[in-house]
Homo-oligomer: A and B are copies of this chain.
Amino acid sequence: MSLKSVLQSFSKPSLNWLLVFIPVALAIRLVPSIHNPTVLFVVAGLAIIPLAGLMGEATDQLAQRTGEGIGGLLNATFGNAAELIIGLIALSKGMTNVVKASITGSIIGNILLVLGMSCLFGGWKFHVQKFNRTAARTSATLLLLAAVALVIPSVFHVEASRIGGWTAAREQQLSLSIAIVLILTYVASLFFSLGTHKKLYQGKSTEKGHEGEDVWSLSKAIWMLVIATALVAIMSEFLVGTIEAVRVSLGLTEVFVGVIIVAIVGNAAEHSTAILMAMRNKMDLTFGIAVGSSLQIALFVAPVLVFASYAFGAPMNFEFSLPEIVAVVFAAGVAGQISGDGQSNWLEGVQLLSVYVVLAILFYFMPAPLAHLP
């Protein structure tokens, strides 16, 4: 009972008090006398949390007004808009390593951290929690596909270099081709979950919108989406702009900041919702949020960022570092293992969290590259 109330205080509704950090962030940025990159980084990060939540809520509200099909598409497209915006801003500054690190971090953060916390807290309250095995397995298989896609460019680099004949242009073409396959697979999976097999996923969209929340007017929903998106963009600009300074002052590496910190900030709103749903024994919703977010990042946000990188004149490839590859492959493997039997318990939550902590330790101890090679 008391644990539940503590947890609810971290959940969606009460995150809104964090909105106070928006004016604080603006002040720190604009008033030279109090300008401090590290504080700005923290404050902007905190401000993004409720804004990402508001964007999600506005999208949900819009989705309710537009009917199930288009609503599902809206959710699938804007559900991770905050990560997309952070990614675009980092791309515009040429920080492709941070972009890639935040893609990795969002994937493993959602599967290991969010799902782990959800299984732990939910499983603590309920002895065994059940969920739709088919939907969970389908998602786990898609994750495996995403893992393949992230591994292949590095395999190409290693082998093509060994043979002799590696060129950056060829690697770029390879990455672009894979991005196209991923986004087509994403479209197919939407057609599956919103079209031919929507019954597997039902309960989600319907329950999500009616949990004692107001129904917004259409204009309110659109305005909230526009305003929240604009504010997320500004806060992301602050966040990304201070990464370099924070890195140096805290002695952290670019990869650790991207994989762990930026990923937690970008997904915090979903984190709280997923845990809350687990504590209400709605594990299908939890899986939909946690694994669904991972998939959206891997199959939609990541390819879009690759496409967008051409617009910024600094094409990004899909080549990830060895630790990132290992992290995603193991996360996909563990997700497959956890989801396979359609039930979860608190120890599975601990297992997911342990893998997350081990990976976080790896990224923490990893030294910073001596020189920045793009």
Contacts and interface: CB of A to CB of B under 8 A. Distances in A.
Contacts of A148: 330, 334, 355, 358-359
Interface string A166-199: 1000100110011001101100110010001100
A362 interface: yes
Contacts of A345: 134, 138, 192, 197
Contacts of A170: 365, 367
Given A165-B367, A197-B127, A341-B340, A141 B348 contact: yes
A84 to B, nearest CB: 22
A313 interface: no
For the complex formed by this chain, how many copies does it contain in all? 3
B322 A155 contact: yes
A6 interface: no
Contacts of A346: 192, 196
A-side interface mostly: helix
A261 B162 CA distance: 24
A27 interface: no
B192 A156 contact: no
A203 interface: no
A163 B341 contact: no
B177 A361 contact: yes
Contact of A163 (B337, B351, B367): B367
- Chain A, interface size category, equals 35 or more
Contacts of A333: 144, 333
A347 interface: yes
A323 B151 CA distance: 10
Contacts of A336: 337
A370 interface: yes
Contact of A368 (B165, B181, B323, B359): B165
A113 interface: no
Nearest to A140: B337
Contact of A165 (B184, B323, B350, B370): B370
A137 interface: yes
Nearest to A368: B165
Contacts of A147: 330
Interface string A129-169: 00001100110111011011101100110111011111000
A366 B159 contact: yes
A354 B173 contact: no
A357 interface: yes
Contacts of A348: 138, 141
A354 B155 contact: no
Contacts of A159: 321-323, 366
A137 B185 contact: no
Interface in A295-323: 321-323
13 contacts: A134-B341, A134-B345, A138-B347, A144-B334, A145-B358, A151-B326, A155-B362, A156-B365, A163-B367, A174-B361, A185-B350, A189-B347, A196-B346
